[in-house]
Each structure stands twice: as C-alpha cells, then as structure tokens.
Amino acid sequence: MAYKFPILGRATDHGFLWPIAKGLAQRGHHVTVIAAKSPLGKPEVQRDGVRVLYLHEGYPNMSGIRFEHAVAQKFLQLHRENPFHLVHSIDRSAVEIAKRKHELNIAVAYDVEATQMAQLFSILGMVQESISSLLSTGVAVIYKFLSTYFGSDRELLKTADGVFVTNP
C-alpha cells in the first residue's frame, strides 16, 4: 500500500518497490498493490505478475473518502476474495487495516518513511562540534521524538509487525 507507487521504470523516491513486487511475483507470490493515482491514468495495471489498483482512477465509490479508508475498504473486498498474508505499507495507508490484523490473520510491515523518524535525522544532521550545539541538538531530538512518537508514530508502531529501513 502506498499513496504513490512507481511503476514502469519511472524515477521516484520509492524506486526499489517495483523490483521487490516483481521479484515476489516471479517467486510465485500473488502481489497486489493499492495506490492512489496512476502515472498512466489507468485504474488497474497488470505487469510482470503484479496487479496494481489505483483507487483515484476509475473507482467512483472511492473518491471523496480519506485514502486510508478507501485502502481499507478495497483491501477488505480483495481479502475476502483471496486472503492476504502480508501487508507492506510505505506510508500510513495501511493503518486502518493494521488495526484489524489479528482479526484478518495478516502481518503488517511499514516502511520507516511511514513514521516521523526522518525528522530526527534531519535535526541530528545540523549538529556542530560545540558543547552548546550538542546540548541544543540533544534537547531538540528529545522534544521531536516525544512529540512525534506520542503524536502519531505510537499508533502506527503498535500495529506493526516490522519496520523496513532502506538506504538510498
């Protein structure tokens, strides 16, 4: 699941996802991706054994509702037809599904980009080699961690079975 999903070799921030989906399909797994908008303007793309559904293209009953709810609604329909075992979400798109993971008997993994941890790394990148800079950066990191963890990351991490961290 992802609001944006790259396909057909387009250069994007998540360029590693297409090869992973394609590789899983080549190994015999049924791979379905749910995303928002297609770069091709199509509601569905089937390529190399991977099925990609774009909810903002050709699914009129999905427009007007939050993407997370549209994803959950479509996922539940697909899950009834052919049960999934694993859900991987790049962003927060799968939170509504993950809240029901025990009932649905699935595992849920998020990409680290679904969390606010990148903000911590950007703060750490500003530190300079002085005592005052180290202290102010330390305070900023602690504040940012507490505000993002209790603000949104805690809910997401409580539903996660795993978090993928990638290095571009």
pLDDT tens digits, one per residue of 58-105: 777 766 788 888 889 999 999 999 999 999 888 888 899 999 999 999
Q: Of the spans 80-84, 112-116, 149-153, which averages the highest pLDDT?
A: 80-84
- pLDDT at res. 13: 43
34 against 166, higher pLDDT: 34
Share of the chain above pLDDT 70, in %: 89
Pairs from 23-31 (Cβ < 8 Å, separation ≥ 24): 25/49, 25/50, 30/82
Give the confidence band of 162 by pLDDT, cuts at 50, 70, 90: confident
Note the pLDDT of residue 8: 52
Rounded to the nearest 5 percent, the helix, strand and coil shares of the chain are 45, 15, 40
Q: How far apart are the first and last CA of the chain?
A: 20
Give the CA angle between residues 51, 102, 152 to the nearest 5°. Answer: 80
Q: What is the pTM of this model?
A: 0.75
Name the amino acid, one letter, at 130: S
Contacts of 27 (CB under 8 A, 6+ apart): none
Give the mean model confidence (pLDDT) for residues 138-144.
Answer: 89
pLDDT above 90: percentage of residues in the chain: 23
Residue 81's pLDDT is: 94
**What is the reported pLDDT for 27?**
95
- Helix (H) or strand (E) segment spanning residue 97: helix 95-98
Which candidate, 64, 114, 63, places its Cα nearest to that of 87? 114
Strands (E), 36-134: 44-47, 50-54, 86-89, 107-111
Task: Compute how many other C-beta atoms are within 10 angstroms of the C-beta atom of residue 162.
Answer: 10
Q: Residue 148 has what pLDDT?
A: 83
The CATH code of the domain at 17-114+155-164 is 3.40.50
In this prediction, residue 7 carries a pLDDT of 61
Beta strands in the chain (DSSP E): 31-35, 44-47, 50-54, 86-89, 107-111, 162-164
Confidence of residue 11 (pLDDT cuts 50, 70, 90): very low
